[in-house]
Chain A
Amino acid sequence: MSATDATTSARTATSDRPGASGAVGPYDRVEVELTVNGVPRAAFVPPRRLLSDFIRHDLELTGTHVGCEHGVCGACTVLLDGQPIRSCLALAVAVDGRELTTIEGLAGPDGELHPVQQGFQDHHGLQCGFCTPGFVLSACGFLAEDPDPDEDTIREGMAGNLCRCTGYAGILQAVKQAAGVLRETGADPCARHAGRAADGAVAAGPESGR
């Protein structure tokens, strides 16, 4: 459902924000507003709405995948304020007001792939692709912390994500290549790719939440 369907919402003033001291009832819907890939997005949801479902069902951004829903597989990984987190282990109401980056927010405005995405393509880091959004965003967060990792560190950094297809070798190569490219360009691994016109003609600005 989308925000406009949420006619039952009781949000009338700031005191109805999920963060306000009053409790939100189990069946109440509150407005949750996030900046998603640079674009403000909002929907009315009950407290039990997982962030993963908020992203997929309420915002209709289906690039974020859901595998296990208990934190083990990593498919649902997104960036919250630039840090990778499991979206299946966060409540939407609890992250109201914050900034989110999903897999849709990485490619450049001209569609050019982010260096991590490019690495996955170049090294066959995906087959069915189910795990890929989570791997890519985990890798972005990992490279932001450790821009020059060796192979062991990459293994350890990526160990929180499961892939049933590739056997991981291509994924490790992809992350290694991306690390090199990002070091060279000095780009923030967690930001939207600046695109071909990285000379400044095309800004890495918000394009679309989709």
Chain B
Amino acid sequence: MKPPPFAYHAPRTVDGVLAALAELGDEGKVLAGGQSLVPMLNMRLAQPEALVDLSRVDGLDAIEVTDTHVRVEARVTHERLRRDPRVTPAVPLLRQALDWVAHPVIRNRGTSVGSIVHADPAAELPAVLGLLGGHMELRRVDGSREVAGRDYLLSPLDSDTAPEELAVAAVFPRPSAHTGSSFLELARRHGDYALAGVGAVVRLDEDRRLVSAEVACIGVGGVPVYVGLTEALRGQPHDALDLADAVGLVRAAIDPSDDIHATGAYRTHLTGVLAERALTQATAHATHEEIAA
């Protein structure tokens, strides 16, 4: 189908975007890469009165890599972030997750910030932001605020973004030393939204024993489900992990429903398998061993 009629704004400055959003209120919607919004327009699932396009804004396209974080502005596409050689050494989990985000052709247009705002329950980057303890930067005409990644997603396709707010950037903190990560998922076709996915972050001590572990599960709840596994895994040696308890905790934390793609029971099973593999890979990553993808 075709999109319904809408007015089109293409401001040249961030202030212009904020002014347009303030004026339009509930009637306006930000257009970033369009890789989620345009399908929704085509299917008439969204019928905004007006779109405010970011594509002609001067700026908003920086990837900032510092000692403490990677800050990704609103116009940065998934593919640009994935290919930036500074990003992987700083925050490996970004690259590990971005390899699963959509198809290359979609990644060429879709923005990383947009995917977090969009809040699809199976999207990878909201889980990455939450798992790393990152935050979103939001701005409106009369002020700005930060929202922790974990609090930002409210329900499926709903994030804590007011209609007059622009998500300016997502900030991903660098992990501390001896920290490893992994992202794994399964989809019927590589690049489609996953049936289930798991991101894992594991930290080791000097003796390569686990000091903390956590996973984020996607596609199995309305928002990413975070499961702390430090209690279950603390003190285990990196080369002799016993993950049975951890896998049990992960499966107990989720309650996915049946849909046309898979049953809830299958997704629960799958999530456990993915969690076990992701924790193993993340641990190996933490020891800086070579791991096969």
Q: Name A's B-contacting residues (CB within 8 A).
A: 18-21, 23-27, 46-48, 50, 53, 69-72, 74, 77, 83-86, 88-91, 93-94, 138, 141-142, 145, 155-157, 159-160
Contact = CB atoms under 8 A, between A and B. Distances in A.
B35 interface: yes
Interface in B18-52: 20, 31, 34-35, 38-39, 41-43, 49-51
A89 B12 contact: no
Question: Chain B interface mostly helix, strand, loop or mixed?
Answer: loop
A157 B191 CA distance: 10
B39 A160 contact: no
Contacts of A24: 7-9
Contact of A50 (B2, B55, B109): B2
Interface string B1-19: 1111111111110001000
A149 B131 CA distance: 33
A72 B191 CA distance: 10
19 contacts: A18-B10, A20-B10, A21-B11, A21-B16, A24-B7, A26-B6, A26-B49, A48-B2, A69-B42, A71-B38, A74-B105, A88-B38, A89-B106, A90-B109, A91-B3, A91-B34, A91-B51, A160-B102, A160-B191
Contacts of B192: 72
A138 B105 contact: yes
Contact of A23 (B9, B39, B106, B191): B9
B288 interface: no
A102 B1 CA distance: 22
B37 to A, nearest CB: 9
A89 B108 contact: no
Given A19-B56, A91-B34, A141-B104, A47 B109 contact: no
Chain B contact-residue range equals 35 or more
Given A23-B50, A47-B8, A86 B109 contact: yes
A138 B192 CA distance: 16
B2 A70 contact: no
B264 to A, nearest CB: 24
Contacts of B2: 48, 50, 53, 69
B162 to A, nearest CB: 21
Nearest to B187: A159
Contacts, number: 115
B50 A86 contact: no
Nearest to A53: B2
A159 B191 CA distance: 7
B269 interface: no
B120 to A, nearest CB: 13
Q: Which 9 A-B pairs have the closest CB atoms?
A: A160-B103, A47-B8, A26-B5, A70-B39, A89-B38, A24-B8, A48-B3, A19-B56, A23-B9
Of the listed residues A19, A72, A86, A141, the one surrounded by the most CB atoms of chain B closer than 10 A to its CB is: A86
Contact of B34 (A25, A94, A160): A94
Contacts of B61: none
B124 to A, nearest CB: 16
Given A77-B105, A83-B108, A156-B190, A93 B1 contact: no
A140 to B, nearest CB: 11
B218 to A, nearest CB: 19
Contact of B104 (A50, A71, A157): A157
B146 interface: no
Contacts of B20: 23
Given A23-B8, A48-B5, A89 B34 contact: yes
Given A19-B56, A89-B39, A91-B38, A47 B6 contact: yes
Interface string B195-238: 00000000000000000000000000000000000000000000
